[in-house]
Amino acid sequence: MVKKKIVAATGCPTGIAHTFMAAEALKKAAEKMGVEIKVETHGQVGVENALSPEEIKEADGVIIAADKDVQAYRFHGKPLVDVPVSKGIRSPEELINQIVNQEASTYYDSDYQESGNEADKMEVDERDQATKQNRRWVHSIYKHLMNGVSHMLPFVVGGGVLIAVSFLFGIYSADPDHEQYNEFAALLNQVGGLGFSLMVPILAAFIAESISKRPGMVVGFIGGLLADEGGAGFLGGILAGFIAGYIIILLQKLLKKMPHSLNGLKSIFLYPVLGIFLIGIVMTPIIQPLTSLNEGLMDFLASVQSTNPLLLGLIVGAMCGFDMGGPFNKAAYVTGTLLLSEGNLYFMAGVSAACIAPPLIIAFATVIFPKYFTKEERNAGAVNFILGSTHITEGAIPFAAKSPLIVLPIIMFGSSIAAIMTYMFGVQVPAPHGGFLVLPVVTGAFQWVLSILVGSLIGAFLYGLYRKKAAHNKPIEE
């Protein structure tokens, strides 16, 4: 019997954990099922184990387990399964079976050009639109947004940390008229500020790029700049990205009947000129209302942080601990990341604490209650100390997946305690990632670590007691 050949692509917004966990799950499942598979990963360092055109052509089907753009146009004409990255981790065998059992729909991409025959391309367009309409539009919107976030993160992390490091020389060390002025600190502040200032334009550009490829990126970048300079902030950037992407889709439809020989003119001249003009026309009247909305949101969050840190911490902790890298977690994380651009360093502190706590809950539980965990689980628990310390939440997923109705509420409770204490202490974290690696630039570093440890230990005891009770019914087998 000839082995089935499958190719896959995985990717998550941060490109650190989910991307590779999904790849590993697919590889293990394929090996167990006797299926040949090659998985391409879209991590933070770029594309690894890239799929060649020949490998794609020879494959019996394609699996995309991603929450970001992975260049799906390459898979035109192939049976394709497109799901969130979390499903690649949880249900790899189910995804592979859809290809093996020929249950996957054939994917058609409107930008794919197999020949210059206009009739063929129009037919592909019609089939492509039907395919797209059948997809889950909510996941599509989420994927476009996360593509923007994924490309934005390095700018936020790099720029934010450099600005924070400059403050170590003095809060006014970048001001040439102040006695604290330090030339090196001023350079750090300037360079970091430039990186940080690109956050909203990059967000908008890559949301648009996910929707309408490279032409959308240019228009999205300009739309993001308009939003940023007009004071509309990240809300304006998100809206500009989606508007820009669909402006290009509209232009592609309107210019579809132009001769194939003029495609170069469309991409290098008509799309950018008309697109930039249209995004300017659309964004100008809505910037002021968006600015008011953005400022209102900032004021609301600032008031909640000071007047009701218990409620805010409970919400943030529950969201971060509920799906650990999924939509709820990412909603809190993206909000915290984007608020950094508004100068709000408090919100991100609670989000970071709530994201660090879950793997530490697991790790401490395996140390405090070792006899109620298998050797494999204890080894995984030790790894979670490293994952948690570096803000990689996903290490807790395999443990939560075994008993989600019990374990997830425990993790949410521990994460909420960590977030609540962080807000009560008024901790400020200038970087959206890095975990304890960014401690030197955290304002209130001791209180932040204390908050995380308290939340993690309380969660660990609850989880350990649950495992102890479960062991009475079913003894642990090494």
Q: How far is CA 341 from CA 89, 163, 418, 434, 445, in A?
A: 32, 12, 24, 18, 21
pLDDT for residue 325: 66
Confidence of residue 4 (pLDDT cuts 50, 70, 90): confident
Instruction: Enter the tokens of residue 8.
Output: 């896959």
Strands 5-11 and 61-66: parallel
pLDDT for residue 320: 87
Catalytic residue selected from 7, 12, 81, 222: 12
Average of per-residue pLDDT across 422-436 = 86
Q: How many CA atoms lie within 13 A of 40 on its CB side?
A: 22
Average of per-residue pLDDT across 196-208 = 91
12 is catalytic: yes
What is the CB neighbour count within 10 angstroms for residue 115? Answer: 9
State pLDDT tens for residues 361-407.
999 999 999 988 888 888 888 888 988 888 888 778 878 877 888 99
- 451 has pLDDT over 90: yes
Amino acid (1-letter code) at residue 423: Y
Instruction: Enter the tokens of residue 81.
Output: 């399964």
Over pLDDT 90: what percentage of the chain? 39
Instruction: Enter the tokens of residue 173.
Output: 């060390």
**Sequence-ordered list of residues with C-beta below 8 angstroms from that of 319, at least 6 positions apart, any chain:** 328, 329, 331, 332, 354
SS3 of the chain: the string is CCCCEEEEEEECCCCCCHHHHHHHHHHHHHHHHCCEEEEEEEECCEEECCCCHHHHHHCCEEEEEECCCCCHHHHCCCEEEEECHHHHHHCHHHHHHHHHCCCCEECCCCCCCCCCCHHHHHHHHHHHHHHHHHCCHHHHHHHHHHHHHHHHHHHHHHHHHHHHHHHCCCCCCCCCCCCCCCHHHHHHHHHHHHHHHCHHHHHHHHHHHHHHHHHHHHHHHHHHHHHHHCCCHHHHHHHHHHHHHHHHHHHHHHCCCCCHHHHHHHHHHHHHHHHHHHHHHHHHHHHHHHHHHHHHHHHHHHHHHHHCHHHHHHHHHHHHHHHCCCHHHHHHHHHHHHHHCCCCCHHHHHHHHHHHHHHHHHHHHHHHCHHHCCHHHHHHHHHHHHHHHCCCHHHHHHHHHHCHHHHHHHHHHHHHHHHHHHHHHCCECCCCCCHHHHHHHCECHHHHHHHHHHHHHHHHHHHHHHHHHHHHHCCCCC
- 133 has pLDDT over 50: no
Q: Which residue has the higher pLDDT, 461 or 68?
A: 461
Going from the N-terminus, what domains does the chain have, and what CATH number goes with each?
5-135 (3.40.50.2300), 138-296 (no CATH), 308-473 (no CATH)
pLDDT for residue 120: 43
Confidence of residue 125 (pLDDT cuts 50, 70, 90): very low
- 478 has pLDDT over 60: no
State pLDDT tens for residues 29-68.
999 999 999 999 998 778 899 999 999 999 999 999 998 8
Q: How far is CA 405 from CA 50, 315, 402, in A?
A: 38, 19, 9
Give one word for 5, left, alpha or beta, with left for phi > 0 and alpha for psi -120 to 50: beta
Whether 204 contacts 223, CB under 8 Å: yes
Minimum mean pLDDT among 97-106, 271-280, 416-425: which range? Answer: 97-106
Minimum mean pLDDT among 157-166, 201-210, 323-332: which range? Answer: 323-332
* Alpha carbon distance, N-terminus to C-terminus of the chain: 37
**Sequence-ordered list of residues with C-beta below 8 angstroms from that of 216, at least 6 positions apart, any chain:** 208, 209, 210, 244, 245, 247, 248, 249, 275
Average pLDDT over the chain, rounded to whole? 85
Average of per-residue pLDDT across 424-433 = 85
Instruction: Enter the tokens of residue 189.
Output: 């502040």
**CA–CA separation, 330 vs 382, rounded Å?**
25
Average of per-residue pLDDT across 70-93 = 88
Q: How far is CA 121 from CA 43, 106, 210, in A?
A: 33, 16, 21
pLDDT for residue 427: 92
**CA–CA separation, 18 vs 392, rounded Å?**
9
- 276 has pLDDT over 90: yes
- Residue indicated by tokens 């947004």: 145
- 117 has pLDDT over 50: no
pLDDT for residue 126: 45
Instruction: Give the phi and the psi of residue 309 in degrees, each rounded to 5.
Output: -65, -25
pLDDT for residue 112: 52
pLDDT for residue 476: 60
**CA–CA separation, 150 vs 384, rounded Å?**
23
- 115 has pLDDT over 60: no
Reported pTM: 0.73
Q: What angle do CA 334, 335, 337 make, to 5 degrees?
A: 60
Instruction: Give the phi and the psi of residue 30 in degrees, each rounded to 5.
Output: -65, -40
Distance from CA of residue 436 to its chain's centroid? 20
State pLDDT tens for residues 311-359.
889 988 898 888 776 677 777 887 787 777 777 788 889 999 999 999 9
Over pLDDT 70: what percentage of the chain? 92
Whether 246 contacts 210, CB under 8 Å: no
